[in-house]
Amino acid sequence: MNGLVGHGALLVSLPFLALGILLMPAAVRRGKQDWVAVAYGSVYANFLLVSAAVIAMIVALVTHDFSVSYVAQVGSRATPLFYTVISLWGALEGSILFWAWVLALYSILVVSTNRDRPGTLVPYAAMVLLLVSLFFAILLVGPANPFHVVFPVPPDGPGPNPLLQNHILMGVHPPLLYLGYVGMSVPFAFAVGALLSGEAESNDWIRLTRNWTVLTWGLLSAAIIAGMWWSYEVLGWGGYWAWDPVENASFLPWLTATAFLHSAMVQERRSMLRLWNINLVVGTFVLTILGTFLTRSGIISSVHAFTTGTIGYYFLGFIALVLVSTLVLVAGTSDKLRTTGHLDSAASRETVFLLNNLFLTGFMLTVLVGTLFPLVAEAVRGVKVSVGTPFFNRMSLPMIVALLFLMGVGPALPWKSASRAELRARLLPPISGAVVLLVVALVIGVHNFYGVLAFTFVGYSATANLREFWIGTRARRLAHGEAWPTAFVRLVLGNRRRHGGYIAHLGIFLVALGITASSSLRTESEATLTPGQTITVSGHTLRLKQVWGREEQQRSVVGATMEELDGSGRVTGTMEPHMNFYPLSQQPVPTPDVHSGPLGDLYLNLMAVKPDGSNATIKAIYEPLVPWIWFGGGVIVFGAVIGAWPGRRRVVAVASAPLVARPAKDNAA
């Protein structure tokens, strides 16, 4: 029943989508507003149908309906309810269904908030969204069908991948990722819509999607940080980023989206970089699809790689279609988009944003080249090579520190131009912050070149950003006589985008410090202990109390209880790293225990246990400042939310092309 409802709903969505896609250009060309409304209707219909499919799937999962193929693949009666529900996105087909639903949701939000705008931009944007939805619908009724009928119905299933049942962040990271990823379809749809409707020279498409892009960017940032946190807490090696292709897949669109956030401002103010922005937005969308393709098709080996199969060819076909059609469209209409404006001065925020874009794009290309290079090398040389952490770190660190520095220069410089005295007054004071953090770095023991540089630049830039808050608040106090807190809040709310951006910058600085400190200052030690023996790392002593085992609903657990001892030998806490054994998996899943403090984490991993329980091998790692990464992530999201918060509605003259494109051909309705 569930399978029937789900599959049926998705099948029915196909003609609705096709109707909307075919109807829209006809409606636009003939100026028929009611046809446009019908086409919008198919957006709503699609949402209802995909929602029905999702509900059917969730019901099937929760009721353990193993006649549905996806449930038979990832479901199990032993799995707790929380993990059962979130296994919706745990494997390939379910995750595609979830993607389709988020896209449908975004589509109705876009249509409902923008449909009253006169002109052809919104109709074409909706059409593009429908086209993307159509692709996913085809996948869902074809190669990625989660609703196949399984007969005879098995009594039970294998349950989700053990790694996906180990931590509640599994319920957080994928939805955030999809919300962010799929969200990039919206600026893309508007950019293409702008090209199709001839409105690409105006800044409307950016204006309309501005808040949307900031919020989506914030969600994607949160998703990446959540993914890092999940990896850190679950995988047991004490790291949070391995430059795995799937991690890179989420990072690539984030880089171009960040670049776009900045260059969009240049376009809005100076009407420049219009072609560049279109390319950035299209590139971001292509990267989201590319990322999905890389990890879903099995083309590159990755932690997230799902099964290989025909689905790779479908994705490739879609990528080819999107790439070729957008290249054709952009290249064909780019004549009108040449920059006609001019800059007042090179010493301006505009220039800094150009450099920001340069390094972010360079960073993106580095990661892209590194991710694809094994494939290229095999195609050209026939030899398999690896491209891993040493390559990525070495190639990207210069750009990262350059960006850290620019993040301090940008906020300090005004738009348009600055006199030499102004430059001095704005760019010199943060140097004090740089010196402070330089000293701090050297004192705490960061001695490698890039670590010291990172600290120094963060010091500079954080001071510059904070100074902006201080200067602005002080100015408000002088002008309005407000108290400090009131002035501060009013300042932020008065220009949410700018101050949200500064807050996000501060979040990035926290993340940068966390990453730098934990890579440079990490200490670890490993020992095999019998009960009563201790292991020490970075001043922390832990004693093995006992080795134990227990049965849980869906797994067996073997663990070690470790007691934390203070200087005088008193027990200050306990930690329990353990290993989870799942019935259908050969290898146990190690689950480290992490004790977080404001300055660092004590990280324990159980490496091995003697079968009779007489000893346990423990790896103890001290990771300085890692909690700053997660906290910084929260600050980034907070900044994005503030930046995206809608302000007072401004009445702007809309550069609208009339719905009637060619009056001469207008037939009577």
Least Å distance, CB 325 to other proteins, is 9
Distance CA 132, CA 570 (A): 61
Give least dist CB 365 to other proteins, A.
5
CB-nearer residue toward other proteins: 23 or 406: 406
Q: Are 515 and 629 in contact (CB under 8 A)?
A: yes
Options 202-210, 367-375, 474-482, 632-640: segment touching other proteins (CB under 8 A): 367-375
Rounded (10°) CA dihedral 528, 530, 534, 538: 20
Smaller CB separation from other proteins, 20 or 408: 408
251 binds other proteins (CB under 8 A): no
* Token pair belonging to 302: 């990755």
Distance (Å, whole) CA 464 – CA 467: 5
Distances (CA, A) of 361 to 300, 354, 515, 640: 23, 10, 21, 21
What are the φ/ψ torsions at residue 103 (nearest 5 degrees)? -60, -40
Residue closer to other proteins by CB (options 393, 486) is 393
Residue 347 touches other proteins, criterion: CB under 8 A? yes
Residue 182 CB, shortest distance to other proteins, in Å, is: 22
Nearer to other proteins, 341 or 494 (CB): 341
Picking from 17, 35, 203, the residue whose alpha carbon sits closest to that of residue 128 is 17
Q: How many residues bind other proteins (CB under 8 A)?
A: 105
327 lines the binding site for other proteins (CB under 8 A): yes
C-beta of 82 vs 449, nearer to other proteins = 449
Q: Which of 35, 391, 470, 645 binds other proteins (CB under 8 A)?
A: 391
One symbol per residue from 149 to 188: x for binding other proteins (CB under 8 A), - otherwise; what is it?
----------------------------------------
H-state helical runs in 334-388: 349-381
Cβ of residue 384: shortest distance to other proteins, in angstroms?
Answer: 5
Q: Is residue 376 part of the contact set for other proteins (CB under 8 A)?
A: yes
Q: Give the residue, chosen from 41, 143, 158, 312, that forms a contact with other proteins under the rule CB under 8 A.
A: 312
DSSP string of 454-508, one letter each residue = HHHHHHHHHHHHHHHHHHHHHHHHHHH---HHHHHHHHHHHTHHHHHHHHHHHHH
119 to each of 193, 550, 666, how far by Cα in Å? 11, 65, 16
Instruction: Report whether 319 contacts 289 (CB < 8 A).
Output: yes
Q: Which residues in the 199-218 window bind other proteins by CB under 8 A?
A: none
**Interface residue with other proteins, options 52, 105, 358, 435 (CB under 8 A):** 358
Task: Tell me the HSE value of 540 on the side-chain side, using a 13 A CA sphere.
Answer: 27
User: Could you say whether residue 473 binds other proteins (CB under 8 A)?
Assistant: no
Shortest distance, CB of residue 514 to other proteins, whole angstroms?
Answer: 14
51/617 with CB nearer other proteins: 617
Q: Which residue from 275, 276, 264 is spatially nearest to 333, judged by alpha carbons? A: 275
Instruction: From 464, 463, 507, 470, select the one nearest 491 (Cα to Cα).
Output: 470
Out of 33, 113, 523, 530, the only residue in the binding site for other proteins (CB under 8 A) is: 523
Exactly one of 34, 151, 155, 380 binds other proteins (CB under 8 A); that residue is 380
Residue 622 DSSP symbol: E
Q: How far is the CB of 623 from other proteins (least distance, A)?
A: 10
Shorter beta-carbon distance to other proteins: residue 11 or 607:
607
65 and 2 Cβ atoms separated by less than 8 Å: yes
> Where does this chain touch other proteins (CB under 8 A) — which range of 6-14, 61-69, 325-333, 659-667?
325-333
Q: Tell me which amino acid residue 438 is.
A: L
Write down the least CB distance from residue 644 to other proteins, Å: 29
**For other proteins, which residue of 34, 116, 379, 650 counts as binding (CB under 8 A)?**
379
Asked if 448 interacts with other proteins (CB under 8 A), we say: yes
Q: Does 344 bind other proteins (CB under 8 A)?
A: yes
216 vs 519, beta carbon nearer other proteins = 519
DSSP-based helix, strand, coil % in the chain, nearest 5: 65, 10, 25
Of positions 81, 155, 421, 648, contacts other proteins by CB under 8 A: 421
Q: Is 485 helix (H, G, I), strand (E, B) or coil?
A: helix
Residue 564, beta-bridge partner list: 542, 573
Nearer to other proteins, 300 or 503 (CB): 300
For other proteins, the closer of residues 169 and 589 by Cβ is 589
Contact status: 559 vs other proteins (CB under 8 A): no
CA distance 374 to 393: 17
Other Cβ atoms less than 10 A from the Cβ of 427: the count is: 17
In 169-266, DSSP assigns E strands to none
Indicate the DSSP class of residue 571.
E
Q: Binding mask 270-309 vs other proteins (x if CB under 8 A, - otherwise)? A: --x--------------------x---xxxxxxx----x-
Nearest-angstrom CA–CA distance, 44 and 34: 15
Minimum distance, C-beta of residue 367 to other proteins, in the bound complex (Å): 9
Q: Are 405 and 457 in contact (CB under 8 A)?
A: yes
Residue 142, CA distances (Å) to 11, 20, 96, 595, 647 in order: 10, 21, 12, 47, 44
Contact between 657 and other proteins (CB under 8 A)? no
CA dist 274 and 278 (Å) reads 6
98, 135, 359, 460: which one contacts other proteins (CB under 8 A)? 359
Binding to other proteins (CB under 8 A) within 529-558 occurs at 536-538
Candidates 274, 522, 543, 578: give the one binding other proteins (CB under 8 A). 522
Residue 80 Cα distances to 54, 74, 165, 174, angstroms: 20, 13, 9, 19
**Cβ-based nearer residue to other proteins, 129 or 446:** 446
Q: Which of residues 596-625 bind other proteins (CB under 8 A)?
A: 605, 607, 619
Pick between residue 171 and residue 398 the one whose CB is nearest to other proteins. Answer: 398
By DSSP bridging, strand 589-591 and strand 578-581 are: antiparallel
- Cβ 232 to other proteins shortest distance, Å: 12
Cα within 13 Å of Cα(481), Cβ side: 0
